[in-house]
Every structure is written in C-alpha cells, then in structure tokens.
Structure 1
C-alpha cells in the first residue's frame, strides 16, 4: 500500500497557506536560513530581520505555499514576537551548530516560553551553520535531541542545515509545512507508540467500506481498488505479496488465507507513521472525507440548511429502515434489545459514541443494565436528528449508511401550513414541559420512558435520578396512536430559571409543537 515505488497524489485538506514563524537566539542564522530558502542560494548581506517571505506553492509537493515570519529575539521586540508565535501554524526554533549554548537555550528557555504562551503548534528544531561546527565536537543529532524530544512532545522533527552550503535548507521548511498539513498528534500517540483511538476508528470504517465481500479481510482485488482510489496507482502483484509478507513477519494475525485483516490494516498505518510517512495515512483519511479533527467534512454531509423556524428535520423512511436493519444485525441474541457492548460495537466506526453525553445520555428508555429496545433506539435517533441534524447524518454515514446522504433527512412542512390543511405529515413531535420546581416535570418525562412492556419487564432506570444536575432533560419514545399509527414524541423539560429567556425567543418557541404546563395539586 503506497509503497516507496508507488506514486500517489496527496491532499492537504482545505488549507491555502501555511504560516511558519522562525524564532531562536540572536545570531543563530534565522534570517540567513529564510533568505537562502527563498532565493535558493546563499545571501551574503541579509537584514537582521526580514519582512514576511513567501515560498510559492511549487516549492512543495503538497502545492501549498508557505509564509515565513522572521523574528527578533531582543527584549524590546518581545511583545511582537509573542504575537507572531501565537499566530503561527508551525514554529521553527533555531540554534547554531557552532554555539552549543544556543542548543541548551532551546530547552531552558524557548520551549518553556511556548508552553507559557500556550502555543500548541508543531515545533521544528533546526540547527543552522552546520558548516561551522567544530569537527572535534561531533555528536549525532539523534543522541543530542532524543532527551529533549522525550521531554517536549510538541517537537515534530529535528534537522541540521547550512545556508552557506545549501545543505538541507529547503527541507527545514518542508518539514514545518508537512507537520501542519499532515499532523502527527491527531493520529498517533508518540508516548505509547500506537494509533490514537479516533484514528483507529476512522481507519476501521475505511476498512469496512473497502471489504466489499464482508469477509473480514481485504483480498488482492480489494487491496488494489483501495490503492487506486487513494493514490491513483495500482499495486503490482509483487508489491501485494511484499505488503503481506511485512505484515505477517511483524504481526501474524494481520494476514489470513483471505487477505489483509483489520489488525494488519491498522498495523500498516502505524508503521507508515513510525517511518515518517504520515502523509500516506492522511491521504487515505482525506480521500474518505475526513478533516483534521478526524470527522467527516461538511461537503460529505449535505444537511438541509434553509428552513423556517417552524420546520423541523426528520429521518426519512429510507434512513429508518436502514437503522432498523442495523438494530437487527447487532441484536445477535434476538431478544429485541441491544446491550451496551452492542452499541459500542455499532458505533466503533464513529469518532465516539454520540449518546454518551448530554442531552442524549439516558434520554431514551434503558434497562438497569443499559439495554435499549428498537423503539428506544429509533427514538434516540429521532431526538438527535431534531436537535442536531449534522451530527445525526454524520453518524448515519459512520455506521455504514450506503445510500445518498441527501436521502437520509427531510425537512417537514411548515406548521402554519399544517394548521391550514388540518393535517400533518410529521412523524416526530416536540413537547416543551414547563412548571415550577418540584411540580413533577421530571416524573412526567420518566412516565414517557416507563410506559411500555419492555420497560416494565426490565427494571427501568429513571431519567431524573441520572440527569438531575443538568437542569434540562429530554425524553424520547414511540407513542401508539389510533389506527395502529406510531409517532415519536420528544419531551423537553424547561428549567424554571430559564423560562423567561425561552418565552422571549420566538425562534425557540417555533420548534415547539405542543406545550405542557405542570403544577403540583398538593
């Protein structure tokens, strides 16, 4: 996969320019380094501080230009320096190879200063004036920098160069650009030397999408299709054999008689990153729609954006049918419920489970051990769609919705039109529950969740005992209507201290289909 002899095109995401700030002690060669990179030759007379310098897109394989910001380390310019550091996409910290004190000053001052300023961007350490180093004081760069990199994990790369002899001058800024366009931190835990969970989840989804025959392994044809999709170049048979051999030697479970397993797929990407080829993994992720935060980009999620305040967003029948099928697929014991472990497995290809936090946690009926029925499962999706259509559509795609994403959501007709026609096509209704403290609002919400046979037989865990600290609760469930028709009801408890604010907001009230006012008869 994307081996050294295999060409591929890279995508740098949506960035149009990378801003690199060059900082370090006086006399370490900052300005000379910038001038040499821009002119592709050594410059004898260079100003003490250069104006912003642009390296054009064709300087770099990713075809994204870089703006270099030179800085002064003098005390009188400290304020401006700090401002520039805070605006940086990446920082190049320089030391002089012929001045050992400038190297020690990186860890004793500069790196601590970046932390003090809360500058959290990739740092590239560049040793300048390599041609002036004392030949009697030779130490390997790895030997010198390894302890510093262990202490300061923000350091992405270390390199030594010479503007006078043009040794590794372009590389210094290539590594800075690469650290921004293809950052390591979101994908790989340097301390534990493993893929981060969100990266592994994204790659798992990609593996599942590429495993067309769903046998748990990528065969030679599937591997080749993956390679062509991501890198516009096929794998030769010998390369496929080589990939499998490397994986099998390192991790036998990574390959079986059917092909490359998920274990092997994840191992390969960890190997790419360890070998400094992180752009390979980023190319794969971006081809499948992921952004720098390992979430699907907006252009992959056509969420309806234009709607009146009294319109809502619902799942289409096609999406509900898909979710019902997913529920049955993960209900392996056929008891009509998903266990918490089933839900974890269902959402293992999403960045995280979307229902672990407010307002979704415990908004649908659950048993004491956390099992969820089909009605509760679909109600939870209806709630997420009503409150956050973007999140709902994204998670549909994460768990394998194969249809056109635009066909998963629909905008309901305006409520004012429904009133005129005295008929509605809505399947989901929002009810706002108002009332003073201790009037029974939470009990009303709990009654919706504890109203059916599934709850009665399974020792239901009430909402109010879990979410009482949040002040704002939701409950969602399917309600049977006359004629066998089913609708989803969403109850929203309005906290008493927020009633005035809510009632004064017409757009907020427009989302309300019906209001309930609770009072205490005692």
Structure 2
C-alpha cells in the first residue's frame, strides 16, 4: 500500500503540506503540535520545515509540513512555497470571524491567481476559544465551498487540547493520494468527464464476453484484479441489489451494466469513499490527471530525421475499430461516431486545431477509412507517444513495438538514393497570398477557406494513389512567410521534412521574388545543418494571367539549382493528383531534387577537377613505375648475356 500511495505522489519522496493563513490564526502552533504531540508555551513565530516520522500514519507516506509567514515582505517566499505544495492547509481562527471572511476575499483568490493546483484543506484553529453560539462549521463553510471547488474538506482543531490535529494532516494526505476534484464535479454531484471515460474503458476491458454487462464471474475477476481478494456470492448479490433499487437500468439479466458501474462509483465518491475508485483507476494504469501513467508509455529514442509509422498490425486493429463504430455501415465515421470511438480516452485527440479539417470527409462530415488512417498517421508523425496512448485507450492490447516501426534516417535514405517510408511529410512554403492554403484544402477536397483555424499550424493528410498501384500517405504542412525565421532558428527544423514545396502566385512577380528568397534561405539552412531536403517549385493560380517575368526567372532558378522546372497548378481545377504524385516521387527519390547553390556547385566542380587531376597523376605514376620495372628487366637480361 505504501508504494502505491507514493506512486500517487508522482515520484516525490515526501508529501509537502504548506500551512498558510492570516497572522495569529495558529499556523505555527498547529505545526508544533503535530510534530511533538504537545503544546509548548514558547512557539517560534515561523517554524522551519518539519519532517514527521514515517510511521506517523499507517501507510508510511512521508510528510513535511512547511510553515509560512503572513508578513508582506515574505510574500515572494510564500508564493514559492505555495507553488511547490502538494496540499495547502488554509487556516482561520475560530474566535476571529474576520479571518474566516478573509479566506474567500483574499486567500483562495490568491491561490487561484498563483495557479496553484494543490488541494486545499480549510482548518479552523483554536477550537477551544470558539463561541458556542456561532453557526455550525457546515453552515459557515457551505457558501465558500460552493464557490471554491479546490477545497477538499473543512475541519476544526485545537492545538492546545490536541484535538483533531492528526486529522488535519490525515485529510491533507488523503486529498493528495485520493483527490476528489479529478473524480467528481461537486457542483453537479456527477462524475467528471475524464472519470466517466476512464471507468467506461475499465468496464469494457472487464467485460470479457462483450455482452455489455459484468456477470458475477466478471465482477469477481474485477475484484481480484483490483483488491487481491474475491467477492463472495452474497456480497455480489448485495451490491447488485442495492444498485438495482436506486437505478433500474443499472442491472440486467446478464449482470451489472455500464450505467450501474458508473452509478456505483459515483455513490462511493459522494460518500467520501475515495480510496476504492482510486485503487481501481490506478490498478488500470491511471495517474491523478486520469491519463495513463508515463511509465506505461515508453520513451521514444530516435534521431531528428527519423519518424515512426503504424505497423500493419496496428492498421488492421484500427480497421476493426473503424468497422465496429461505423454503426450505419456507410463506410464513413460521422463526428458522433468518432466521439463515441474516443469515449474511452481522456478526450478526443482530434478536437485539437491540428486536426481541424485536415482530412477528406463526405458531405455529411463522415470520415472514410483512408481519412481515418490519414489522421492516425498524422498523429503518429507529430506525437507518437500520444498516438500509442490513444491506441491503448481504444482497446489496443499489443506493445509499442508491435504498433510502430521506426524508419531509417532521412540522410541515409538520400545517400542510398531510396526510401522505405510509407508516410511523407511535405513543407508547403511560400509568400502570403500565393495559394498555399487553397492547395492544402484541395488535397482533402475542401473549399479553400472552409472552417480553417485562424491561428496555429495547418495540416492536410491524405492517401496518394501512384501509377504503379501503390498507396502512400502524404502529410502537407503549411509554413507561412512569417514563420520562416522562427522555423530556421532551429538547427533541426528541416530534419522531419521529406520534401519542401515552394508556392508562388504565377500572376505576381513580387510573389515569386519573396518565395525565391524563402527558397534560398531554406536551401542554405539545409546545406549548413546537413538536413538537405528535396525541393519543388509550384506556380499557383495558373488559370489566371501569368507573369512572364516570374515564369522566366523561376525557370532559370530551377535550372541553376538543378531541380524540376516550376509546376503550374490551379486549385480551381479538381484533378490535382498529378502534382501530389510528383511530390511523393520526389520524396521517394530524395537525391534527385536536392537544390544546388552556386557555392555548392563551385565546390563540386573543384572536387571533380581534383578527382580528375588525381586520376591523371595516378596514371602518370603508374606509367613511370611500369617504365622503371621494364628498364630493370632489360638491364638484368643484358648483364646475363654479357
């Protein structure tokens, strides 16, 4: 039990309880009394941090109590202590009502301003001086607790009488090990969304026969897994009967339903029996934020130019999940079906702006299996740990190595002049107004400015069907003109890129000049850092009046750099598959489209000249050696004949 409770502290060796409140409310007396089980007359104004014995409580979780000063000059120190607290004990004096009022007008708002995440235990000290005619603790605290959900509990104590001093620290410890806030919305008295989602996943994992109910056998297996003790038949019958009396749909002929399972845990939490649901949640790998613990998600070691891709096993699993949640069998998942699919995850990972309209959907907003896999591929490309966590949340039981393949370094691909990748990352770069956004939207068959995120990165992901029948996933990321400086400030910023696409407005010579500047900067950055990328130039808006000067100069630049001539496109033309295939081909043969700068070309020519010179020298040296050898043979024969 001790190790499990220490794990709940997030790897900390000791629980830090910080005591704050108005001057004279009994903070230091509380600390001394807790540490000594006594009440000395001469109490220091502020106690130093005090470590309680490890056996202070039966669970042997170490506790350090940190006293604080309320004087204004100590405010920076107070802030630091509050921000490092695991739990905050907020004191008021039972004989001074103004100190209680100050909790709601100053202390609790101040903790919020400091963005303290620690649970708060409100403690009325000096209970021995309390006026008997005062309202009850519940009546006094109800308005404050309703306004400040971070308050876990309230208690009154007397350091002088040694009354409920240990209980103060017990409640502080329990508030950290078994916090209420992640589990219960105290205003509505219902389970939080994350708690409900986690318990739903646990229910599904325990429902071995998939009949949407936990039988007596399954309930007993659940009990043994979580608490290492079986349930007697009478105990199971008692629990299910109690649930059925309160919630008719909580039990059916097959056993305990999901509704009943959630109701039972809600009841435990509302009754203050937090240890039981937290034991269940932690047994299934959840931390205090109701996410999978970090130790269950392996650290990913890879070079900057290495990426991960889904294995065929993971894709087959996702195909099964897709079909399971495609309840109307129309070959597409509607937004509601996507939400249902991720209802066992802490939240829908695709609600982030990164995934907004990044894949092709039908007129009803339905996501095809190709679009579904494209989104998973994008998530794996950007955040492989998050991708694996969400695989687990939706039911994947394999390990990390069975779900992902680490691809070869891109630099190695370029040296070997081929790649084994199936997912390619393309940076779409260009001047403002060049048509980048419209190009990305056309890739996923959307209108150019259809519900795009106003700020943040923009992605488009789709499957590209090549002429040889193979399919590759292409992920395109828009890089705005204003983002280039920030991008190139990172030495490894080009490492994840398989191909860079430079888009300019073919009707605007100035657009080409700005895009050319971006091209030169990116190429120079790649040469400097060693992360060179294949580059293509795209002349957008080809259906309008083109600038002949822009066309001529862009053609000259592409020739000078040794890359393809600019590719004319129009986002108004629906069939752009050719350009997407060309992007994939450039990524598949990365050595063919690496731009060459003038300085690089000079160095290459010099190396070629040097190599030719060395060859001439080598041939001359070889001829000389052969001549000397022949002369020696001739001289030897002449001497022999004479």
Q: Please give the TM-score of this superposition, normalised by the length of structure 1.
A: 0.89
After the TM superposition, which residues 206-245 of structure 1 pair with which residues of structure 2 at under 5 Å, given as runs?
Answer: 206-245=202-241
Distance 1:510 1:48, change over 3 A: closer
Contact 1:13 / 1:291 at 8 angstroms: preserved in 2? no
d(CA) in 1 for partners of 2:112 and 2:243? 39
Q: Out of 483, 489, 502, which is 1:498 matched to? A: 483
Say which one has the larger Rg: 2
In terms of fraction of residues, the more helix-rich structure is 2
Distance 1:473 1:24, change over 3 A: closer
Contact 1:9 / 1:232 at 8 angstroms: preserved in 2? no
The offset of 1:117, in angstroms, is: 4.7
d(CA) in 2 for partners of 1:148 and 1:445? 52
Partner of 1:478: 463
The offset of 1:192, in angstroms, is: 1.0
d(CA) in 1 for partners of 2:304 and 2:8? 37
Partner of 2:353: 358
* Unmatched tracts of structure 2, length 5 or more: 507-545, 547-642
Q: Out of 48, 52, 61, which is 1:55 matched to? A: 52
Does the alignment pair 1:16 with 2:13?
yes
Contact 1:362 / 1:463 at 8 angstroms: preserved in 2? no
d(CA) in 1 for partners of 2:305 and 2:78? 51
Distance 1:301 1:80, change over 3 A: closer
Q: Out of 236, 259, 265, which is 1:263 matched to? A: 259
d(CA) in 2 for partners of 1:364 and 1:195? 33
Partner of 1:489: 474
Q: Out of 314, 317, 330, which is 2:312 matched to? A: 317
Does the alignment pair 1:512 with 2:497?
yes
Give the aligned length: 504
Contact 1:397 / 1:405 at 8 angstroms: preserved in 2? no
The offset of 1:9, in angstroms, is: 6.5
The offset of 1:39, in angstroms, is: 2.1
Q: Out of 411, 414, 438, which is 1:416 matched to? A: 411
SS of 1:465's partner is coil
d(CA) in 2 for partners of 1:24 and 1:329? 55
Distance 1:411 1:241, change over 3 A: same
Partner of 2:120: 123
* Unmatched tracts of structure 1, length 5 or more: 1-7, 451-460
Does the alignment pair 1:157 with 2:164?
no
SS of 1:218's partner is coil
Partner of 1:186: 182
Superimposed CA distance per residue, residues 308-332 of structure 1 (whole angstroms, 9 cap, x where no aligned partner): 2221111111101111111111122
d(CA) in 1 for partners of 2:459 and 2:72? 56
Partner of 1:466: 451
Higher relative contact order, chain-length normalized (CA < 8 Å, sep 6+): 1
Contact 2:9 / 2:15 at 8 angstroms: preserved in 1? no
The offset of 1:349, in angstroms, is: 0.6
The offset of 1:112, in angstroms, is: 4.4
Distance 1:9 1:218, change over 3 A: farther
Partner of 2:270: 274
SS of 2:462's partner is strand
d(CA) in 2 for partners of 1:78 and 1:434? 49
The offset of 1:100, in angstroms, is: 4.3
Q: Point out the more displaced range, 257-266 or 507-516.
A: 507-516
Does the alignment pair 1:94 with 2:91?
yes
Distance 1:130 1:484, change over 3 A: same
Partner of 1:285: 281
d(CA) in 2 for partners of 1:354 and 1:95? 43
Q: Please give the TM-score of this superposition, normalised by the length of structure 2.
A: 0.74
Partner of 1:172: 168
Does the alignment pair 1:246 with 2:231?
no
